[in-house]
Chains A and B, each alone.
Chain A
Amino acid sequence: MVHHESSYQPGTAIERWLDQRLPIIRMAADFAAFPTPRNLNYWWTFGGILTFCLAVQIITGIVLAMHYQPNDALAFDSVERIMRDVNWGWLIRYTHAVGASMFFLAAYIHIFRGLYYGSYKAPRELVWILGVMLFLVMIMTAFMGYSLPWGQMSYWAVTVITNLFSSLDSIIDGLGTAIVQWIWGGYSVTGVTLTRLYSLHYLLPFVIAAIVVLHIWAFHITGNNNPTGLDVRQESDTVPFHPYYTIKDGFALALFTLLFAWFVFYAPNYLGHPDNYIRANPLQTPPHIVPEWYFLPFYAILRAIPNKLFGVIAMFASILVLFIVPWLDTSRVRSTKYRPIYKWFFWLFVATCLGLGYLGSKPPEGAYLVWARICTFWYFFHFFVVLPVVGLIEKPKPMPASITESVLGSSEGAAGERGGGGTPEPGGATACPEKR
């Protein structure tokens, strides 16, 4: 554990005055100086990218809310007004709609990063659990947001997804129906439902922001994991967060925003479904209903199972299983880099998830259904059998003695040089003098 004492020296009288009353500058300074493993690669930049995505969604969302009407008679037209009449409305809405996809793209990369490098293992279990909670609230937020344009896909997605709860009827008769009608505020999906989804769509991103604070707080107590999975042991294993990682994160963010902007300006509807430009019609279900791409793997699992209740249970379980991953993995080694057997299973698991995503977009019949069942089986097999068993039988590869050695090839790194650059370390000691 990297216990990190404050190195902040209030320079001016005002700062001293403030520091004794509300040490907010100290907090920011400590954040900037936070000792961060020196070997983080680009997979570690997605945390910053996710924070950016949240900010983009909140800012564009608040603007959309100034023009949007959460009423079933007006919603569809108000979105078209945003697109055609409101100044820059098209840009704001496309940024928000594409932003949801980019948010999930970044989240999935971030989650697989955690799985690969064992970032969920002790002492970071709570960091991981808070992350899974963030993912769950993101799912709810995006689902509710997608209902708001009140097109055909919006309407039928709300109908199908809320109806998932009706499967509880087969456990306690009437319970599922009662819950579904409680969510709807009626006997079918109506404008009453739309208005409450809007209220919650506005609320949940701020819940996300609060959980993000806890998530960051938690890994500032344990310290960041890193590609070797080794603990930080010495001063030379770390560099201050700023400027090293502010710059690295910033560079990755610039590339990410290029992709983001490409979608917004050149393919804003590519990730969406054309049927959502047809006004909601409660009397007609579109011939093919598919969720947004980021929900496809879970949708494939739902449909792979021919029983309503068990399909729903499997779908929820496929997300909730992430909560117990820290206890399913028995390996002593964190990073998959040093796990010669698990490495193969990891990539097989990635392929399984991508496969499920593809199958979720196809009709559940014939070979598609067979494959969806194979992938669903493997998805759970990975968590409940591969993770515990491989950890027990595998012999890890030799590991470097320290993070410093993994970068420099020797452990005497305290006064050593940055790999390649030749610039002397600008005093890890001055930047974080507490670790002596």
Chain B
Amino acid sequence: MAAAVEDEPTRRDFLVVASGAFVAVGGAAAMWPLIDQMNPDASSQALAAIEVDLAPIAPGQAITVLWRGKPVFIRRRTPAEIKQARQTPLEDLRDPYARNPELPPDAPATDANRTKKGHEEWLVLIGICTHLGCIPKGQNIGDKKGDYNGWFCPCHGSHYDTAGRIRKGPAPRNLDLPPYNFTSETMIKIG
């Protein structure tokens, strides 16, 4: 072959590369709608905020409400539970971060950072175990609350304390807080 002289790219080479590239890019672009259609759609993204009346909840009681399809735990803690949470040294925590969307991501997991100032009685948490998504026990009277008196996840044995922080078991993170605000002394708005 007299290849050496013909090493210059020809018009045909250019067309082959250009059309090949066009097909590849077009194919990749066509994939995106097929993949993205599976993401949460407009209706599930339109997240309604909910209001919850806290008046009927007595100290030591807890209720579960549904927000964005997720259970939200609202517990009115007893003074003993608050004390237990506040006295825990931060070095004892498995996850050092507060996981509070209203604070910077590196805010430490103190009890103060996981509650609202002036409303320390109230703990509001997303009730989904950070291990593999089960709903921990501890909301109902008679539930097993785990070694730290908060919540216990029966699926693979994660124990949370009275500030919803992970203390023992496979879960990697403290229970997340939802964004919420007190609209009056006894009303909160979640979302």
A185 touches B41 (CB 8 A): yes
- Interface status of B70 (Cβ within 8 A of chain A): yes
A364 touches B69 (CB 8 A): no
- Interface status of A156 (Cβ within 8 A of chain B): yes
A164 touches B70 (CB 8 A): no
Set of chain A residues within 8 Å of B35, measured between Cβ atoms:
182
- Interface status of A282 (Cβ within 8 A of chain B): yes
Known: A185-B40, A192-B44, A288-B154. A283 touches B64 (CB 8 A): yes
Interface of B is mostly: loop
Name the residue of chain B whose CB is nearest to the CB of A193.
Answer: B38
- Interface status of A186 (Cβ within 8 A of chain B): yes
- Interface status of B57 (Cβ within 8 A of chain A): no
Interface membership of chain B positions 147-191, coded 1 if the CB is closer than 8 angstroms to chain A and 0 otherwise: 000000111110000000000001110000000000000000000
Within A51-68, the residues touching B (CB, 8 Å) are none
- Interface status of B66 (Cβ within 8 A of chain A): yes
Bound complex: CA A363 to CA B135 (Å): 17
- Interface status of B79 (Cβ within 8 A of chain A): no
Set of chain B residues within 8 Å of A311, measured between Cβ atoms:
170
Bound complex: CA A181 to CA B38 (Å): 9
- Interface status of B68 (Cβ within 8 A of chain A): yes
- Interface status of A307 (Cβ within 8 A of chain B): yes
- Interface status of A190 (Cβ within 8 A of chain B): yes
* Other-chain contact of A285, B66, B134, B172 (Cβ < 8 Å): B134
* Other-chain contact of A364, B41, B153, B156 (Cβ < 8 Å): B156
Within B119-168, the residues touching A (CB, 8 Å) are 128, 131-135, 153-157
Interface size on B, residues (CB 8 A): 26
5 contacts between A and B (CB under 8 A): A156-B155, A187-B44, A187-B70, A285-B134, A363-B157
- Interface status of B71 (Cβ within 8 A of chain A): yes
* Other-chain contact of A307, B41, B132, B170 (Cβ < 8 Å): B170
Set of chain B residues within 8 Å of A364, measured between Cβ atoms:
156-157
* Other-chain contact of B134, A160, A166, A170 (Cβ < 8 Å): A160
- Interface status of B39 (Cβ within 8 A of chain A): yes
Set of chain B residues within 8 Å of A287, measured between Cβ atoms:
154
A186 touches B38 (CB 8 A): no
- Interface status of A84 (Cβ within 8 A of chain B): no
Bound complex: CA A296 to CA B141 (Å): 33
Set of chain B residues within 8 Å of A181, measured between Cβ atoms:
39-40
Bound complex: CA A313 to CA B81 (Å): 37
- Interface status of A9 (Cβ within 8 A of chain B): no
- Interface status of A410 (Cβ within 8 A of chain B): no
Bound complex: CA A419 to CA B71 (Å): 70
CB distance from A260 to the nearest CB of B (A): 32
Bound complex: CA A166 to CA B39 (Å): 15
Name the residue of chain A whose CB is nearest to the CB of B140.
Answer: A284
Residues of A within 8 A of B (CB): 156, 159-164, 166, 170, 181-188, 190, 192, 196, 282-285, 287-289, 303, 306-309, 311, 363-365
CB distance from A185 to the nearest CB of B (A): 6
A163 touches B69 (CB 8 A): no
Residues of B within 8 A of A (CB): 35, 38-41, 44, 64, 66, 68-71, 128, 131-135, 153-157, 170-172
CB distance from B126 to the nearest CB of A (A): 10
Bound complex: CA A359 to CA B41 (Å): 40
CB distance from A202 to the nearest CB of B (A): 16
Bound complex: CA A182 to CA B134 (Å): 19
B64 touches A285 (CB 8 A): no
B39 touches A182 (CB 8 A): yes
Set of chain A residues within 8 Å of B39, measured between Cβ atoms:
181-182, 185
Set of chain A residues within 8 Å of B38, measured between Cβ atoms:
182-183, 185, 196
CB distance from A149 to the nearest CB of B (A): 19
Bound complex: CA A311 to CA B156 (Å): 12
CB distance from B182 to the nearest CB of A (A): 24
Set of chain A residues within 8 Å of B131, measured between Cβ atoms:
163, 308
Set of chain A residues within 8 Å of B44, measured between Cβ atoms:
185-187, 190, 192
Set of chain A residues within 8 Å of B68, measured between Cβ atoms:
187-188
* Other-chain contact of A284, B40, B133, B135, B156 (Cβ < 8 Å): B135
CB distance from B178 to the nearest CB of A (A): 11
Set of chain B residues within 8 Å of A283, measured between Cβ atoms:
64, 66, 71, 135
A186 touches B69 (CB 8 A): yes
Bound complex: CA A310 to CA B78 (Å): 37
CB distance from B171 to the nearest CB of A (A): 7
Set of chain B residues within 8 Å of A307, measured between Cβ atoms:
170, 172
Bound complex: CA A188 to CA B70 (Å): 7
* Other-chain contact of A160, B40, B70, B155 (Cβ < 8 Å): B155
Name the residue of chain B whose CB is nearest to the CB of A161.
Answer: B132
Set of chain B residues within 8 Å of A289, measured between Cβ atoms:
134, 154-155
Set of chain A residues within 8 Å of B128, measured between Cβ atoms:
188
Known: A183-B38, A192-B44, A308-B172. A160 touches B133 (CB 8 A): yes
Q: Which of B40, B132, B155, B170 has the most CB of A within 10 A?
A: B132
Name the residue of chain B whose CB is nearest to the CB of A306.
Answer: B170
A163 touches B133 (CB 8 A): yes
